[in-house]
Chain A
Amino acid sequence: MSDLGNASEGGTDWRKELKTLGVFVVGFLILFFLPVGMPRFDNALKEGLELTKWYAREHVLLCLIPALFIAGAISAFVNQASVMRYLGPNANMALAYGVASVSGTILAVCSCTVLPLFGGIWMRGAGLGPATAFLYSGPAINVLAIVMTARVLGLELGTARAIGAVAFSVLVGMAMHLIFRREEQAKAAAAAEMPEVEVKRPLWQNVIFFATMVGVLVFANWSKPTETTGLWATIHLWKWPISGGFAAALGAALGFWFGFQWRSLALAALPVVLLSVAFPHAPLIPFVVACAGLTVLCVIHPGEGREWLEATWTLAKQIFPLLVGGVFASGILLGRPGHEGVVPSDWISQSVGGNSLMANFLSSVVGAFMYFATLTEVPILQGLLANGMGQGPALALLLAGPALSLPSMLVLRSIMGTKKVTVYVALVVVMATFTGLIYGRLFEPR
């Protein structure tokens, strides 16, 4: 076995070639035994395609694209340094927990920075408690994920996820702090390298800027209610003019505070207005043109415009292939509401149906160990719910799933040590189980 590891000293790297051969063999075996013709398999393939098409039609344009711009704006414009100040060694503890529990999505823009950040906050900053809160909140309070959850799985589940994630991170952080307080090592004398704070824009301007985009996102996606009267229905009737109003407000914000030229803004707005008058029953057309217009506006305004677009584009490149792959795989395995995939729905409804303690627990454990690429938990959960999973276990999966996975546990172990990781995982699983149980009791029809 000895010299197989010694790589390219002018010769072939055998390990690499063996890996390639392995991939070919596995691929060949799959194709050789492909159960084409078996009705369940053929149907599952069709379900995969149908689900992907449905996502493309219903969610990508109106929901994903605005959410991507929002996430990109957070990445490019929210002042990470000013957030970091609340997590330093002299931070006010209550503030530190509060900030850590919501700032995951702001600070951990590149997923590889989660661990150094965690380590830094733990060793040189506010301590193990806030560090753990941040560690949990990063993947759990992902702007895109919460938006998609609310959109695809329903407002209740989306809100529960958002609130649960924030509450969890504080509780898990505090629990870790309490459990390990005697072991807390002395903080390093040297303060961590806090990045410089550059103030580009007053807070209220940033708030309004984000609010306009959130307004577009919320109202463009306002779903049709079952009753034809009442507040919800009235809003639905007016959703496009309202979204348009928010879009105009966005344009104004860009003009006044971001230095976008008024002439370009007007030129970008013109086709959108014309198209919305010409095609009143096809709002997708002016919407798409508006998004394209925004993109062009960003390109021609170097500095903040381009930075925003770059951040948004980087996210899009990461997320889109994963989402499409995840949706397709989920469709094949789990099917769509009303249609089964490869996995028989009995298996699902028996193991995680209803709202028993076992169902919630099983859901939490599977979620904790399973790896969910960004956003893939949404189509997977959709499939599971359609196959009979209960609402409680669904929430449990949402709270335990994205934040943990077996690979991440192993890496965390190298920083925290086995004992702390085990406690962390146990805390998340237990809390997810009970939160799911309570939610299921409140929202499941008896």
Chain B
Amino acid sequence: MNILVIGPGCAKCKTLAQFTEQAVKELGVTAEINKVTDLKQIMALGVMMTPALAVNGTVKVSGKVPSVSEIKAILQQATA
């Protein structure tokens, strides 16, 4: 599973990265988490509101920081 944490780097983006790592750990799935901070790349992904989370190439959340349980639900849906 490929996870992208998208955001130029303010506090919210860092929180999202933290929560995502925690969710992955709690679920015990294998996932590669990458941070996208370059503005051109963010725009290329079609993301308008950061922070955003993409799983396996699809943007699942944008514009807010979801809770750890919300992230877990998204990840579980993706593996289903």
A191 CB contacts on chain B under 8 angstroms: 46
| B43 pairs with A110, CB closer than 8 A | no
A440 to B36, CA, bound (A): 47
Closest Cβ neighbor of B8 among chain A residues: A112
From A121, A123, A124, A195, name the one whose CB has the most chain B CB atoms within 10 angstroms.
Answer: A195
Interface string of B40-59 (1 = CB under 8 A from A): 10110111111110000001
Q: Is residue B31 within 8 Å, beta carbon to beta carbon, of the partner chain?
A: no
A195 CB contacts on chain B under 8 angstroms: 49, 62-63
| A112 pairs with B9, CB closer than 8 A | yes
| A192 pairs with B48, CB closer than 8 A | yes
Question: Assuming the A-B contacts A193-B62, A414-B39, are A116 and B8 also in contact, with contact meaning beta carbons closer than 8 angstroms in the complex?
Answer: yes
A192 CB contacts on chain B under 8 angstroms: 46-48
Closest Cβ neighbor of B60 among chain A residues: A193
Q: Is residue A400 within 8 Å, beta carbon to beta carbon, of the partner chain?
A: no
Question: Assuming the A-B contacts A110-B10, A192-B48, are A116 and B39 also in contact, with contact meaning beta carbons closer than 8 angstroms in the complex?
Answer: yes
| A193 pairs with B47, CB closer than 8 A | yes
Closest Cβ neighbor of A122 among chain B residues: B43
| A120 pairs with B9, CB closer than 8 A | no
B63 CB contacts on chain A under 8 angstroms: 80-81, 113, 195
B51 CB contacts on chain A under 8 angstroms: 110, 113
Question: Assuming the A-B contacts A107-B49, A113-B50, A195-B49, are A119 and B43 also in contact, with contact meaning beta carbons closer than 8 angstroms in the complex?
Answer: yes
Interface residues of A in 390-426 (CB under 8 A from B): 411, 414-415
A113 to B48, CA, bound (A): 8
Question: Assuming the A-B contacts A124-B46, A190-B46, are A110 and B39 also in contact, with contact meaning beta carbons closer than 8 angstroms in the complex?
Answer: no
Interface string of A187-209 (1 = CB under 8 A from B): 01011111100000000000000
A411 CB contacts on chain B under 8 angstroms: 39
Question: How many residues of chain B get a CB closer than 8 Å to chain A's CBs?
Answer: 21
A121 to B49, CA, bound (A): 10
Q: Is residue B13 within 8 Å, beta carbon to beta carbon, of the partner chain?
A: yes
Question: Assuming the A-B contacts A116-B8, A195-B63, are A110 and B46 also in contact, with contact meaning beta carbons closer than 8 angstroms in the complex?
Answer: no
Closest Cβ neighbor of A113 among chain B residues: B50
B45 CB contacts on chain A under 8 angstroms: 193
Question: Assuming the A-B contacts A123-B43, A195-B62, A415-B39, are A117 and B48 also in contact, with contact meaning beta carbons closer than 8 angstroms in the complex?
Answer: yes
Q: Is residue B35 within 8 Å, beta carbon to beta carbon, of the partner chain?
A: no
Q: Which of A81, A115, A125 is close to B8, meaning CB atoms less than 8 Å apart?
A: A115
Q: How far is the CB of A410 from chain B (nearest CB, A)?
A: 12
A415 to B40, CA, bound (A): 7
A195 to B8, CA, bound (A): 19
Q: Is residue A172 within 8 Å, beta carbon to beta carbon, of the partner chain?
A: no
A-side residues, CB < 8 A to B, are: 80-81, 84, 107, 110-113, 115-117, 119-121, 123-125, 188, 190-195, 411, 414-415
17 other A-B residue contacts (CB within 8 Å) besides A116-B8, A195-B62: A113-B49, A115-B8, A115-B39, A116-B42, A116-B43, A116-B47, A116-B48, A117-B49, A120-B46, A121-B48, A124-B46, A125-B48, A188-B46, A192-B46, A194-B48, A414-B39, A415-B39
- 18 pairs of residues in contact across A and B, judged by CB atoms under 8 Å: A84-B49, A112-B7, A112-B12, A112-B13, A113-B49, A113-B51, A113-B63, A116-B42, A116-B43, A116-B47, A117-B48, A121-B48, A192-B47, A193-B48, A193-B62, A195-B49, A195-B63, A415-B40
